[in-house]
Amino acid sequence: QLQLQESGPGLVKPSETLSLTCTVSGGSISSSSYYWGWIRQSPGKGLEWIGSMYYSGSTYFNPSLKSRVIISVDTSKNQFSLELTSVTAADAAVYYCARQTYEYGGLYYFDYWGQGTRVTVSS
Amino acid sequence: DIQMTQSPSSLSASVGDTVTITCRASQSISSYLNWYQQKPGKAPNLLIYAASSLQSGVPSRFSGSGSGTDFTLTISSLQPEDFATYYCQQSYSTQLTFGPGTKVDIK
């Protein structure tokens, strides 16, 4: 059974960089047909896709966050990571990592999710 | 970006009811539409992909339909464990977007 687990600091200071890692177990991050994504949910709000990556390193991002986001992969550790720079209070949220299955013609869906990690932005 | 809207934003229903939630895209997205269920404090759970395909392990009382811009999620014979928030998500554009959610609570 595939499992994903987010890890990282739960508290980040304004203007600093939020760094999270997602560890994948029960399957390989290098499998074809899968991308790996980050999604966040601000308190009481809906879901916002942040960005996704393929194990080869190719990435694509939400345009509203693109200038501040880095997503990277470490296939040797079966992990992928999120960095969000220059955070503000608006970046406080529960951050989820998820497997993004790709099918014919561009259909993508998130079929496995981590439990989520809450990040607070405060000095 | 493709904007997703959902209606209603919330609804109250009873166990055994049939519930229909609508999702609308700001432009045609073919059948590139997925549905998720989220319970408080939990990660979303995939219910339906490609507008009408039931994810493995999801009860058959959940069904999806639609194409183009208008989609529906139907829950037949609502069960106590179905009270949750439901989100649609499009993947027609590589800029993936979710709908704002529909909360289903107990009448």
CB atoms within 10 A of CB B54: 16
List pLDDT tens digits, range A79-88.
Answer: 999 999 999 9
- Residues in chain A, total: 123
Residue-level pLDDT at A32: 87
List pLDDT tens digits, range A93-105.
Answer: 999 999 999 987 7
Contacts of A107 in chain B (CB under 8 A): 31-32, 49-50, 91
Residue-level pLDDT at B104: 98
| Residue of B96, B97, B98, B102 best to disrupt the A interface, most CBs of A under 10 A | B96
Contacts of B84 in chain A (CB under 8 A): none
How distant, in Å, are the alpha carbons of A37, A115, B37, B42 from that of B45?
15, 11, 5, 9
Q: Ramachandran region of residue B100, left (φ > 0), alpha (ψ -120 to 50) or beta?
A: alpha
Q: List CB contacts of B37: < 8 A, sequence separation 6 or more.
A: B44, B45, B47, B82, B84, B85, B86
| Mean pLDDT, range A85-92, rounded to an integer | 97
**B39 closest CA partner among A24, A113, A11:** A113
pLDDT at B72 over 90: yes
The distance from CA A43 to its chain's CA centroid, rounded to whole angstroms, is: 17
Residue-level pLDDT at A103: 85
Q: Does B52 touch chain A (CB under 8 A)?
A: no
Residue-level pLDDT at A107: 87
List pLDDT tens digits, range A31-76.
Answer: 988 999 999 999 888 899 999 999 998 999 999 999 999 999 999 9
Residues 80-99 of A with CB under 8 A from B: 96, 98
Residue-level pLDDT at A62: 96
CB–CB of A20/A118 below 8 Å? no
CB–CB of A118/A62 below 8 Å? no
How distant, in Å, are the alpha carbons of A3, A9, A96, B61 from that of B12?
33, 38, 28, 18
CB–CB of B43/B107 below 8 Å? no
Residue-level pLDDT at B62: 98
